[in-house]
Amino acid sequence: MSDLSQPELSIIVPTKDHPSLLRRALASAQAQSFRDFELVVMDDGDAGGARLAEELGLDRFQAFLTGGSSQVPAP
């Protein structure tokens, strides 16, 4: 995240090897009129979430890569 203030809302998106669905979810979040949110992608696949967020220019974004372990890392 580029802004150090705490967002009012966190959107958590779990994903694994579904880049087209993830792209739709990220684009939908970006299109919202409510802007005080962070987007957290829990990526259990190929790290596509971080690349897609970069392509879309998302500024309040975090990606946690689990490397196919199906387990969530502690932040």
Q: Are 17 and 33 in contact (CB under 8 A)?
A: no
Q: What's residue 9's pLDDT?
A: 92
Is it the case that residue 1 has pLDDT exceeding 50? no
Mean pLDDT along residues 12-31 = 87
User: Which tops the pLDDT comparison, 74 or 9?
Assistant: 9
3-state DSSP helix/strand/coil percent for the chain, to nearest 5? Answer: 30, 25, 45
Q: What's residue 69's pLDDT?
A: 61
H or E element at residue 64: strand 61-65
Q: What's residue 34's pLDDT?
A: 92
Is it the case that residue 55 has pLDDT exceeding 60? yes
pTM: 0.68
Written as six digits, the tokens of 48 are: 């596509």
